[in-house]
């Protein structure tokens, strides 16, 4: 047993010596301490938004809710990729005109307060170029709104009737074509409406009513549009075809706010899709430009220290025959002139947007030089937070229609934005082609 203990002791001693040797050697060869070098932090210069004249609007904030122009900030980030913005030090040229921007903001502020639960927003776009001249809102949107990323969208109501009207005129119908008045509409069968895939989407168990009282008369394209008559446009959509109405909206530039395809329901012409003011104003701008569709764009150019980093030229195409666009404009001009808003004192056309059960309210319209759309709704969700029995801007409303608040905002903003500029005339409709009636005449 003694030899064994000696061996173990010897091995242990050797291990200690070896360990000591390694420790000593490691200590001898360790690098000498370095002097600590001061490293300057990397500073990313802010990106700056400038208007169409080159004047600074503000720095592009990381959080658009802190921006002076939250809707402009939000749209700029949508149009620019994040990798580009992370470079910093960029000058982002926009199409914003500060006079038009003030007009849009002041128009909203007259009728909707920042502390109101519903939010109002407005987009103003130049027909024929797609340049966004103004983006204004009653307040910034943040967490809790109905779409991610600070975006929002509301059902646009009866403003959607314009697309079915355009499809009807393109198909050969005339101003005085129409149908006997219906106090309610119900599809006769499931195949009364087919989507663009050919699927039956009619709801025979569902009845559509009018907001206005029965007038017991024959309804035409002109009178039905002027009254925003639900039952008439259901019958018109059935005659023209749901798919043609949807395709017309797409051709003119309408898109959903969540980037999903437009919903193809039988009530399409009553505005069941959730859209944002830019998309709606852009589609109406196509009519103002006599069928020339231009993609809405806020950013026109991005510049860095070495010059232009990226340019954003106009992207336009012919979406509708000019004569058809002029015919639609003729109907909408009459709807505005004979409606409660009375017009702008210059050539203008427009359409109110009232939704089922007053979940949101809109107004959209245009002159040859400027198109605008105003939206009003509760970003927490329209199903639970409707625009009825509500106080907005210090005034109590039993129910909010398109001409209650959005219409006056639109009129005020457009009048101020266009003040002092020469009035441009619409091209007169071709009455030889679109006047009178053809097949669906009053008895």
pLDDT recorded at residue 90: 96
Neighbours of 210 (CB within 10 A): 18
Euclidean distance between CA atoms 242 and 167, whole angstroms: 10
SS3 336: helix
Low-confidence ranges of the chain (pLDDT < 70): 1-44, 142-151, 213-215
In a domain, 353, yes or no: yes
In a domain, 441, yes or no: no
Phi first, then psi: give them for residue 25, nearest 5 degrees: -65, -40
Kindly tell me the burial class for residue 79, based on how many C-beta atoms sit within 10 Å of its own C-beta (0-12, 13-18, 19 or more).
middle
In this structure, the strands spanning 292-294 and 316-318 are antiparallel
In a domain, 215, yes or no: yes
The whole model's pTM is what?
0.89
pLDDT recorded at residue 384: 85
Closest CA to 363 of 393, 408, 331: 408
SS3 158: helix
pLDDT recorded at residue 36: 57
In a domain, 81, yes or no: no
The number of domains in the chain is 1
Domain range for 183 is 102-296+316-434
Q: Which residues contact 54 (CB under 8 A, 6 or more apart)?
A: 93
Neighbours of 44 (CB within 10 A): 11
In this structure, the strands spanning 274-275 and 208-209 are unpaired
DSSP 198-265: S-B---TT--EE-SSPP--SEEEHHHHHHTT-HHHHHHHHHHH-HHHHHHHHHHHT---TTSPPPP--
In a domain, 388, yes or no: yes
In our burial notation (b when 16+ CB lie closer than 10 A, e otherwise), range 91-130 reads bbbbbbbeebbebbbebbbebbbeebebbbbbbbbbbbbb
Neighbours of 23 (CB within 10 A): 10
Closest CA to 349 of 178, 127, 56: 127
pLDDT recorded at residue 114: 95
Q: Which residues pair with 376 in a beta bridge?
A: 120, 361
In a domain, 59, yes or no: no
pLDDT recorded at residue 321: 98
Residue with tokens 């999903």: 260
pLDDT recorded at residue 41: 60
Euclidean distance between CA atoms 69 and 50, whole angstroms: 12
Kindly tell me the burial class for residue 19, based on how many C-beta atoms sit within 10 Å of its own C-beta (0-12, 13-18, 19 or more).
exposed
Closest CA to 51 of 65, 63, 69, 66: 69
In this structure, the strands spanning 178-180 and 184-185 are unpaired
**Which CATH number goes with the domain that contains 330?**
3.40.710.10
Euclidean distance between CA atoms 284 and 131, whole angstroms: 13
Euclidean distance between CA atoms 249 and 335, whole angstroms: 20
In a domain, 47, yes or no: no
Write out the H or E segment, with its range, that includes residue 133.
strand 132-137
In this structure, the strands spanning 184-185 and 208-209 are antiparallel
Kindly tell me the burial class for residue 284, based on how many C-beta atoms sit within 10 Å of its own C-beta (0-12, 13-18, 19 or more).
buried
Euclidean distance between CA atoms 72 and 50, whole angstroms: 11
pLDDT recorded at residue 191: 95
In a domain, 368, yes or no: yes
């Amino acid at each position: 047993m003694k030899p064994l203990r000696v061996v173990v002791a010897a091995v242990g001693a050797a291990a200690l010596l070896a360990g000591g040797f390694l420790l000593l050697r490691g200590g001898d060869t360790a690098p000498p301490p370095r002097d600590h070098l001061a490293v300057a932090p990397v500073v990313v210069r802010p990106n700056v938004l400038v208007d169409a004249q080159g004047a600074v609007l503000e720095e592009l904030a990381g959080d658009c809710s802190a921006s002076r122009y939250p809707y402009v900030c939000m749209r700029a980030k949508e149009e620019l990729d994040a990798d580009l913005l992370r470079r910093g030090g960029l000058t982002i040229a926009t199409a914003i005109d500060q006079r038009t921007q003030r007009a849009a903001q002041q128009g909203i502020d007259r009728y909707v307060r920042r502390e109101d639960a519903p939010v109002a927003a407005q987009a103003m776009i130049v027909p024929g170029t797609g340049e966004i001249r103004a983006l204004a809102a009653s307040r910034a949107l943040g967490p809790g709104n109905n779409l991610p990323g600070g975006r929002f969208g509301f059902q646009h109501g009866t403003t959607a009737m314009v697309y079915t009207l355009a499809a009807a005129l393109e198909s050969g119908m005339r101003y005085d074509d129409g149908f006997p008045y219906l106090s309610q509409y119900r599809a006769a069968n499931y195949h009364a409406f087919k989507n663009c895939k050919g699927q039956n989407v009619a709801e025979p168990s569902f009845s559509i009513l009018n907001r206005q009282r029965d007038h017991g008369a024959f309804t035409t394209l002109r009178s039905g549009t002027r009254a925003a008559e639900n039952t008439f446009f259901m019958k018109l959509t059935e005659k023209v075809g749901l798919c043609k109405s949807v395709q017309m909206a797409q051709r003119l530039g309408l898109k959903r706010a969540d980037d999903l395809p437009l919903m193809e329901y039988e009530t399409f012409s009553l505005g069941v899709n959730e859209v944002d003011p830019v998309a709606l104003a852009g589609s109406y701008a196509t009519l103002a430009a006599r069928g020339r569709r231009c993609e809405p764009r806020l950013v026109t150019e991005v510049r860095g220290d070495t010059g232009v980093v990226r340019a954003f030229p106009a992207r336009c195409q012919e979406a509708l025959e000019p004569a058809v666009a002029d015919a639609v404009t003729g109907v909408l001009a009459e709807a505005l002139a004979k409606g409660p808003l009375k017009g702008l004192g210059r050539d203008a056309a427009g359409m109110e947007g009232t939704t089922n059960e007053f979940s949101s309210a809109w107004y959209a319209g245009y002159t040859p030089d400027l198109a605008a759309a105003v939206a009003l709704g509760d970003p927490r969700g329209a199903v639970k937070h409707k625009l009825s029995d509500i106080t907005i801007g210090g005034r109590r409303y039993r129910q909010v229609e398109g001409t209650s608040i959005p219409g006056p905002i639109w009129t005020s903003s457009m009048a101020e934005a266009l003040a002092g500029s020469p009035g441009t005339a619409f091209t007169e409709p071709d009455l030889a082609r679109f006047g009178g009636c053809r097949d669906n005449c009053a008895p």
